[in-house]
Amino acid sequence: MTRVVEIALFTEEPDRLIAFYEQVLSALPVQRWDGGATFDLDGLTLLVHEAAPSDPRGPANKDHVAIGVEDVDGAAARLSESGIPVDPPQTYYWGRSAYLHDPDGRMLELHQPQ
């Protein structure tokens, strides 16, 4: 079975991005070092790393991260109350989702399956 095991996010300001994900995930990193950290998302690793010069032979850096939550409305309300802008949750054919952007402009989906 194939599954996603890591989402890698590269940023010019890793400390700011790490602090953002601590709020969104309500969790501290499982590893942290100068310029990066990893979070364990129930077996999926979220890597935040300081940006380095890109390799022109590499893939385009277009990020989209979906994070599963038990209560999308509650998660969206908590984040909004803490000052993080979140679009109102909507029901789609794949479940209920709300969208927001991290400090570097990456789109996040807060996803509650049907």
pLDDT at 97 over 90: no
What average pLDDT does this structure show over 95-101? 86
pLDDT at 77 over 80: yes
pLDDT at 13: 94
Domains of the chain: 1-51 (3.30.720.120), 65-114 (3.10.180.10)
pLDDT at 56 over 70: no
CB count within 10 Å of CB 7 equals: 18
Among left, alpha and beta (phi > 0; psi -120 to 50; other), residue 83 is left
Q: What percent of the chain has pLDDT over 90?
A: 45
* Residue 92 host element (H or E): strand 90-92
What average pLDDT does this structure show over 75-100? 90
Determine the 3-state secondary structure of 39 from DSSP: strand
Q: What's the chain's average pLDDT?
A: 83
Contacts of 47 (CB under 8 A, 6+ apart): 6, 7, 8, 9, 36, 37, 38
pTM: 0.67
44 and 78 Cβ atoms separated by less than 8 Å: no
pLDDT at 58 over 50: no
Give 86 or 97, the one with higher predicted confidence: 86
Question: pLDDT digits over 1-22, tens only?
Answer: 245 557 878 898 999 999 999 9
